[in-house]
Amino acid sequence: MPAEEHSTKHIIQSLGVNLVIAVIKTGAAVLTRSGSMLAEAIHSFADCGNQLLLLVGVRAARKPADASHPLGYGRSLYFWSFVVALMIFAGGGVFSVYEGLHKIRAPEPVERVGLGLVILGVSLLLEGSAALSNMRDLKKGAPGKPFLRILHDTKDSDLVVVFGENAAAVLGLLFAMIALVMAWWTGDGRWDGGGSVVIGLVLIGVAAFLAIEVVSLLVGESADPAIALDARAIALRQPKVDSVLDLITVQQGPHEVLVAIKLSFSRDLDVDGLCDAINAYEAELRAAHPDVVWLFVEPDTPHDGSPS
């Protein structure tokens, strides 16, 4: 399965799960009169909207290059991922904090706590399984690497955002359950409002993390270091290449990489020989890394007498 289709499948799965959970949580919030339950319902509806925005981003990123965008539209997904991070911050986090503070100032007794806990428990199982599925998918591309490092290094912003949403949902559900139990046990509705505030702070923290990671990709981040290492190594294996003078890589989208390299070739090459040497290099690098969609090779000579 192509990587693009795989990530889209996860978005659609999360959309379906969150839509069902959002409807159930809304009914439970009405029945229990729980502010933390309402915050969780709002969170789930916000996640549904976010996943629709990610699907828009995936579709936009697949547009082929044209005259106005000669390097394609791959970074469109990073833009929409950043919009989703803002939506999590404003639509989920800030509103949940506001709702929680309102409940603390004007506490109300919670009702039907047993029903609320059952619904939260079912939601926790669904969200937890989705988050674990996202973790497995992220780990496939970097076996043995620490998971936090994977989150920082991956170029699949849609998968990171979906995982962030699901992980925040798991934490939010745990805090909502604790708040609901404490509000019932103590008879103090302020515990419920406090739970909503904590849920909002979790969402704000996740949104900030996602925004920082996605902005780096949106501005123009270098590709996986393995691509640069292989680009250099493959060049030096070519019989007609003397040295690598300069090399840059840029991530243009989740599965699109730009490589620009300046090489010093043997001086005995004529024009046809130089073209053949460049074509051989390009073919070997693209065979090793199909994500290298844009590859520019510039022949040059060392200006200081030694390779850079």
Convert the pLDDT of each residue in 188-244 to its tens digit: 888 888 888 998 898 899 889 989 989 989 988 999 999 999 999 999 999 999 999
Residues 278 and 293 in one domain: yes
Distance CA 266, CA 215 (A): 41
What does the block give as tokens for 282? 């390009």
Do 47 and 168 lie in a common domain? yes
Q: 251 pairs with which residues across the strands?
A: 257
Single out the residue in 163, 188, 219 at which a domain terminates.
219
Q: Average pLDDT in the 169-188 region?
A: 87
Q: Would you say residue 282 has pLDDT above 70?
A: yes
* Pair (39, 168) in one structural domain: yes
Q: Report whether pLDDT(145) > 90.
A: no
* Whether residue 259 is found in the same domain as residue 276: yes
Percent of the residues in the chain that have a pLDDT greater than 70, as a whole number:
95
The predicted model gives 130-139 an average pLDDT of: 86
Instruction: Return d(Cα 92, Cα 95) in angstroms, integer.
Output: 6
Written as six digits, the tokens of 24 are 């159930």
- The answer to whether residue 307 is domain-embedded is no
pLDDT 10s digits, 82-96 = 998 888 887 778 888
230, 213: one domain: no
pLDDT classification of 127: cutoffs 50, 70, 90:
confident
**Which pLDDT score, from 0 to 100, does residue 34 have?**
73
> Which CA distances in Å does 227 have to 140, 144, 169, 233, 289?
18, 18, 35, 10, 7
Q: Which of 20-34, 119-133, 256-270 has the highest mean pLDDT?
A: 256-270
pLDDT at position 263 is: 96
Measured in whole angstroms, the distance separating CA 122 from the mean position of its chain's CA atoms is 26
Residue 106 and residue 87 share a domain: yes
Q: Based on the fold, state whether residues 195 and 229 are members of the same structural domain.
A: no
Q: What is the CATH number of the domain that holds 119?
A: 1.20.1510.10
pLDDT, residue 122, reads 86
* Range from 52-56, 62-66, 141-145, 158-162 carrying the lowest mean pLDDT: 141-145
14-49 pLDDT per residue, tens: 888 888 888 887 887 787 777 777 777 877 888 888
Tokens of 305: 């007498």
Asked if 57 and 140 sit in the same domain, the reply is: yes
Task: Give the number of other CB atoms < 10 A from CB of residue 141.
Answer: 15
> Are 271 and 209 part of one and the same domain?
no
Last residue of a domain, one of 165, 200, 219: 219
Query: Does residue 128 belong to any structural domain of this protein?
Result: yes
End-to-end alpha carbon distance in the chain: 40
Estimate to the nearest angstrom the gap between the alpha carbon of 210 and the chain centroid.
Answer: 7
Domain check: are 153 and 68 in the same one? yes
User: Quick check: pTM over 0.85?
Assistant: no
Q: What was the pLDDT predicted at 307?
A: 47
Please choose, from the candidates 88, 81, 186, 178, the residue with its C-alpha nearest in 3D space to the C-alpha of residue 124: 178
Please tell me the predicted confidence (pLDDT) of residue 192: 83
Scanning the structure block, which residue is given the tokens 């290492």? 229
CA angle 51, 85, 83 (to 5 degrees): 75
Domain boundary (176, 196, 219) is at 219
304: confidence class by pLDDT, cuts 50, 70, 90: low
What's the CATH number where 275 sits? 3.30.70.1350
Report yes or no on 308 lying in a domain.
Answer: no
pLDDT, the chain, mean:
86
Examine the domain organization and report whether 24 and 111 are in the same domain.
yes
* Domain limits for position 50: 3-219
Residue 173 or 242, more confident: 242
Query: Quick check: is 147 in a domain?
Result: yes
Task: Express as a percent the part of the chain with pLDDT over 90.
Answer: 30
Q: What is the DSSP string of the chain?
A: --HHHHHHHHHHHHHHHHHHHHHHHHHHHHHHT-HHHHHHHHHHHHHHHHHHHHHHHHHHHTSPP-SS-TT-STTHHHHHHHHHHHHIIIIIIIHHHHHHHHHHHS------HHHHHHHHHHHHHHHHHHHHHHHHHHHHTSTTS-HHHHHHH---HHHHHHHHHHHHHHHHHHHHHHHHHHHHHH--THHHHHHHHHHHHHHHHHHHHHHHHHHHHHHH----HHHHHHHHHHHHHSTTEEEEEEEEEEEEETTEEEEEEEEEE-TT--HHHHHHHHHHHHHHHHHH-TTEEEEEEEE---SSSS--
Cα distance between residue 260 and residue 57, in whole Å: 26
Residue 1 has pLDDT above 60, yes or no: no
pLDDT band at residue 7 under the 50/70/90 scheme: low
Residue 4 has pLDDT above 70, yes or no: no
89 and 207, same domain (yes or no): yes
Over range 252-275, report the average pLDDT.
93
Flag whether 265 is in a domain.
yes
